[in-house]
């Protein structure tokens, strides 16, 4: 009887089936090759160790010896098919299981459901599941997990609901699957319901359940509950710690991410790994914690992880976002192996620093190296063009990305193009581009147009873009403030007042602007008019001294960003205590003369602060780097790297 047609199961001598020499020697010397249990052990070990092709060859060999497989043979063989996504071999193994009478075996059926799901044959998996007359928790879990693996979380939850109506014994594994579905659906009510169910069944102490629950609540935007679950865990592994650090780092709470990392080091019962360090580097990148980032880099070198592509890419990203573009390039050049993410990180880093020529040079180098750019690569390239005002280059990249590389422009690409055209003054072209979009314009696209309208004081298009933004995201106060800024610059104070009333009537609040600066290994946070810092009196006194020197050097305050119809003296008082000025003053006071000051602001740096820091850099002969929400500004001897184009 001919059993397999696929070339994978071609004739193989038993003594050559394994890539593991020790296993081969042992099998050939000591094992009775007519013993199916010995074959099962070998297949299981090969499948477990990742030698899936060899496991399938071993199965082929035992069949050529006319041995009869049993219920332990098939699951490991099917697992090997799953591991390499070989649905053809999987179907043939399925056929063999039917021939030998295992049609109703739950152990085999669950493995087949898992195999079909991982091979993206979800209909076959569901047909098999529906044929099972008496399902156990394993078969239910396999099908629920199959839906999750195929991006069908809603169907997974519907099936879990059916499972709850059956008299089947529940276990922690099915709860983990249900919570995984919750994390993808991101509905707090469903997550809370499953949470209550697992408490009722006594699974809250299970480590895997706890880790998945942390993730599920974070995906619902409820980080406080994630932290409470984390704090209440009786035992945490590295996954628990990594999850909590990542949740904070990825949601803009870098300082809390670093606090969790420090707590992990303090507790000391779990060793950190590559994922931990990569996540901490992300937090360093967002918070500007360069000192800690450098320490992590040194640790990576000591651990021999510098050849790890993920690790090195994280280091590049950290240095780029902490203003150390030369260190980022040094790390990049030192990589033996680079993937598309590595190249993209370097392109994005140069772009953020306004070094568009260097960014495009890396892109061309990437192309010559034979690495195919992806969706994000072109977002980074277009953003680099936008930061430097490379209009023609941006137009060319946008028009050829689909033709030459097969990448259809998405909302992020359109947003970059609108920003590029808008900043350069081509507002009508930017508006026409939006009207011709193949995808629906989102808040990024309309926000880019509104920001350009503020720069060029275009009230007509400003009104249009703001109206669209109010429809898409009525709760965002920033759009109302941008429109108010446009009205204020035109002296339309009645319209400014109307916007104030609208903001108040909707109960909107402006996100607080803050600036971060690192000194002596610690990150210090400043708000506008901040008087909470222990050194606030000294900072204000020093700012007064600087203010006198700046005025003597010819500085005149730029009060156009003040959205109040008040006199100039009052406006000057408002802008004098902006967070970036406080951070710069503190940095200068607490570092050795000549040290480059690094400041990070969560919002766009205002025109007056930009102007003032240029004067400060010249008066003190000191380099100051400010990273705002859009890009980096390096102030040297009274000039800025952005050339006042931002």
Q: Is 214 helix (H, G, I), strand (E, B) or coil?
A: helix
CA pseudo-torsion sign 564, 565, 566, 568: positive
Place of tokens 């997990």: 145
The domains located in the chain, with CATH, are 236-337 (1.25.40), 447-506 (no CATH), 514-640 (no CATH)
The tokens for 400 are 């050829």
Cα–Cα distance measured from residue 378 to residue 363, given in angstroms and rounded to the nearest whole number = 9
Q: How far is CA 271 from CA 261, 268, 311, 414, in A?
A: 11, 7, 17, 44
Q: How confident is the model at residue 15 (pLDDT cuts 50, 70, 90)?
A: very low
Question: How far, rounded to the nearest angstrom, does the alpha carbon of residue 29 sit from its chain's CA centroid?
Answer: 51
Of 184-188, 269-273, 340-344, the poorest mean pLDDT is in 184-188
Q: How confident is the model at residue 572 (pLDDT cuts 50, 70, 90)?
A: low
Tokens of 193: 């319901």
Looking at 34-48, 221-235, 583-597, which range is the least confident one?
Answer: 34-48
What lies within 8 Å, CB to CB, of 638 at 6+ separation is 614, 615, 617, 618
Q: What percent of the chain has pLDDT over 70?
A: 93
β-strand 624-627 against 522-527: which pairing, if any? unpaired
Q: What is the structure's pLDDT at 252?
A: 84
Q: Which two tokens stand for residue 93?
A: 């193994």
User: What is the pLDDT, as a whole number, of residue 93?
Assistant: 93
> Using the 8-state DSSP alphabet, how is residue 263 labeled?
H
Question: Alpha carbon 36 to chain centroid distance?
Answer: 48
Q: Using the structure block, give the residue that is written with the tokens 């609901």.
A: 161
What DSSP line would sit under 463-497, residue for residue? HHHHHHHHHH-TT-HHHHHHHHHHHHHTT-HHHHH
Q: Are 577 and 528 in contact (CB under 8 A)?
A: yes
89 has pLDDT over 90: yes
593 in Cβ contact with 566 (< 8 Å): no
The total number of residues written for the chain in this structure: 646
State whether residue 519 is helix, strand or coil.
strand
**Is residue 245 a contact partner of residue 253, using CB atoms and an 8 Å limit?**
no
**pLDDT value, residue 606:** 85
Tokens 């069949």 locate to: 63
| pLDDT (average), residues 200-222 | 93
pLDDT number for residue 14: 39
Copy the structure tokens of residue 410. 């998405």
What is the rounded distance in angstroms from the CA atom of residue 351 to the CA atom of residue 35?
Answer: 64
Higher pLDDT, 568 or 431: 431
Local confidence band at 519 (pLDDT 50, 70, 90 cut-offs): confident
For 40-82, what is each residue's pLDDT tens digit? Answer: 888 998 888 888 898 898 898 888 888 899 989 999 999 999 9
Whether the pLDDT of residue 5 is over 50: the answer is no
Angle, alpha carbons 458-459-464 (nearest 5°): 105
Measured distance between the N- and C-terminal CA atoms of the chain, rounded to whole angstroms? 74
Burial of 21 (0-12, 13-18, 19+ CB in 10 A): exposed
- CB–CB of 446/476 below 8 Å? no
pLDDT tens for each residue of 213-230: 999 999 988 899 999 999
Residue 12 CB-density burial (10 A; 0-12 exposed, 13-18 middle, 19+ buried): middle
How many helices and strands in the chain, by DSSP H and E? 33, 6
What percentage of the chain carries pLDDT values higher than 90? 65
- Using alpha carbons only, give the angle 601, 606, 612 rounded to the nearest 5 degrees: 100
């Amino acid at each position: 009887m001919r059993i397999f047609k696929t070339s994978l199961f071609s004739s193989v001598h038993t003594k050559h089936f394994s890539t593991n020499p020790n296993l081969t020697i042992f099998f050939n010397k000591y094992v009775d090759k007519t013993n199916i249990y010995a074959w099962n052990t070998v297949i299981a070990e090969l499948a477990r160790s990742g030698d899936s092709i060899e496991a399938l060859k071993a199965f082929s060999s035992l069949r050529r010896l006319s041995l009869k497989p049993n219920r332990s043979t098939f699951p490991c063989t099917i697992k090997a098919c799953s591991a390499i996504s070989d649905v053809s071999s999987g179907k043939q193994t399925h056929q063999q299981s039917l021939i030998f009478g295992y049609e109703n075996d739950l152990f085999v059926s669950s493995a087949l459901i898992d195999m079909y799901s991982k091979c993206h044959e979800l209909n076959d998996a569901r047909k098999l599941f529906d044929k099972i007359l008496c399902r156990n928790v394993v078969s239910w879990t396999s099908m629920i997990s199959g839906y999750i693996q195929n991006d069908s979380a809603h169907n997974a939850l519907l099936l879990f609901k059916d499972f709850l109506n059956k008299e089947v014994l529940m276990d922690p594994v099915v709860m983990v699957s249900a919570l995984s579905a919750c994390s993808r659906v991101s509905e707090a009510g469903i997550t809370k319901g499953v949470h209550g169910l697992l408490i009722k069944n006594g699974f809250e102490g299970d480590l895997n359940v706890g880790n998945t629950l942390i993730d599920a609540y974070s995906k619902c935007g409820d980080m406080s509950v994630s932290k409470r679950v984390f704090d209440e865990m009786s035992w945490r592994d590295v996954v628990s710690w990594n999850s909590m650090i990542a949740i904070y780092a990825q949601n803009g709470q870098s300082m809390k991410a670093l606090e969790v990392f420090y707590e992990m080091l303090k507790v000391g019962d779990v060793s950190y790994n590559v994922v931990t360090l990569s996540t901490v580097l992300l937090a360093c990148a967002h918070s500007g914690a360069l000192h800690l980032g450098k320490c992590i880099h040194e640790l990576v070198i000591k651990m021999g992880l510098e050849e790890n592509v993920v690790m090195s890419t994280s280091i590049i990203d950290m240095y780029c976002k902490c203003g150390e573009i030369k260190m980022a390039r040094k790390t990049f050049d030192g990589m033996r192996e680079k993937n598309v993410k590595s190249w993209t990180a370097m392109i994005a880093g140069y772009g953020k620093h306004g070094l568009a020529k260097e960014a495009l040079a890396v892109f061309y180098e990437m192309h010559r190296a034979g690495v195919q750019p992806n969706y994000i690569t072109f977002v980074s390239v277009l953003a680099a063009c936008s930061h430097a005002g490379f209009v023609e280059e941006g137009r060319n990249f946008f028009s050829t990305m689909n033709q030459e590389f097969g990448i259809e422009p998405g909302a992020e690409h359109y947003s970059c193009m609108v920003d590029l055209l808008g900043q350069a003054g081509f507002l009508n072209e930017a508006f026409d581009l939006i009207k011709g979009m193949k995808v629906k314009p989102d808040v990024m696209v309309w926000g880019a147009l509104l920001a350009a309208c503020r720069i060029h004081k275009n009230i007509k298009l400003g009104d249009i873009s703001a109206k669209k933004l109010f429809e898409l995201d009525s709760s965002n106060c920033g759009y109302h403030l941008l429109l108010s800024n446009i009205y204020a610059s035109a002296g339309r104070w009645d319209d400014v007042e109307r916007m104030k009333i609208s903001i108040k009537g909707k109960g909107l609040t402006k996100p607080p602007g803050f600036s971060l600066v690192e000194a002596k290994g610690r990150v210090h946070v400043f708000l506008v008019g901040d008087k909470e810092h222990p050194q606030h009196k000294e900072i204000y006194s020093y700012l007064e001294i600087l203010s006198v020197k700046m005025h003597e050097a010819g500085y005149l305050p730029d009060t156009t960003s003040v959205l109040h119809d008040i006199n100039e003296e009052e406006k000057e008082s408002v802008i004098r205590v902006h967070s970036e000025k406080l951070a710069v003053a503190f940095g200068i006071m607490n570092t050795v003369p000549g040290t480059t000051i690094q400041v990070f602001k969560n919002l766009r740096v205002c025109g007056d602060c930009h102007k003032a820091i240029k004067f400060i850099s010249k008066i003190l002969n000191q380099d100051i780097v400010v990273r705002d929400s859009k890009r980096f500004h390096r102030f040297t001897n009274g000039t800025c790297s952005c050339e006042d184009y931002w």
